[in-house]
Structure 1
Amino acid sequence: MAHLVIFDFPSTGPFGAEAAAAYDGLARDIAAEDGLVWKVWTEDAAANTAGGVYLFTDRDVADRYIAKHTERLGSFGITDITTARHDVNDGLSSVTHAVLASRA
């Protein structure tokens, strides 16, 4: 069963195009993560937060990634990380137009 993970943490930037340039290497590393279907990068410059919404193939893969990414964020000095996680109901999600498969 697909598993959705949401990361949110304090951030003073960069945001927007500057973030896209600064984090391109990180994005490519995350894209190669085993079991990742997709990631949406999130940011709110006014609230000084950033994060992401991830879809993984299953809960075990998501658990491994949460541990890895939490450690990585910590190495950047990022604390106060919040995560939320949810199993995905594929049937209902497809009715409401969710794209749950990779673009491969």
Structure 2
Amino acid sequence: MAYVLQVDFKMNGPFGDEMADAFSDLAKSINEEDGFMWKIWTESRETNEAGGIYIFESKETAKKYMDMHSKRLSSFGITDVNSKIFAINSKLTAITKGPVKTPSY
């Protein structure tokens, strides 16, 4: 079963193309994380928030990444981080075209 890791936090930029340029190496490194499947990067310039929606192969790999990422954000001075892990209902997600592999039942 795949799991969602939802993360958001306050930050004062960069956003848009500047964010893409600043964090492209980080984005590439995330691909190497244990159990990582994909990520949607989120941002709101209006509310000074950023974060992401991650998919991991297991709850354990999502939790391991969440703990590591919280420490990394803290080292950047970002301490008010909201993180949650959810199981994915693959059958319903497939109906609504979610890009998550549906396990055989």
CA RMSD after TM alignment: 0.8
Aligned residues: 101
Unpaired runs of 5+ in structure 2? Answer: none
Distance 2:98 2:24 in 1: 26
1:8-50 alpha-carbon deviations (Å, 9 max, x no partner)? 0001100000000000111111111111110000000000000
Identity of aligned residues (%): 42
For the residue of structure 2 that corresponds to 1:23, the secondary structure is helix
Deviating above 6 A after TM superposition, structure 1's stretches of 4 or more consecutive aligned residues are none
TM superposition score normalised by structure 1 = 0.94
- 2:91 corresponding residue in structure 1: 91
Is this contact kept in 1: 2:2–2:87, CA < 8 A?
yes
| Aligned-pair CA distance for 1:97 | 0.5
TM superposition score normalised by structure 2 = 0.93
1:46-85 alpha-carbon deviations (Å, 9 max, x no partner)? 0000000000001010010011100011111101100122
Is this contact kept in 1: 2:63–2:85, CA < 8 A?
no
- 2:78 corresponding residue in structure 1: 78
- 2:37 corresponding residue in structure 1: 37
- 2:60 corresponding residue in structure 1: 60
Alignment of 1:10-21 (within 5 A): 10-21=10-21
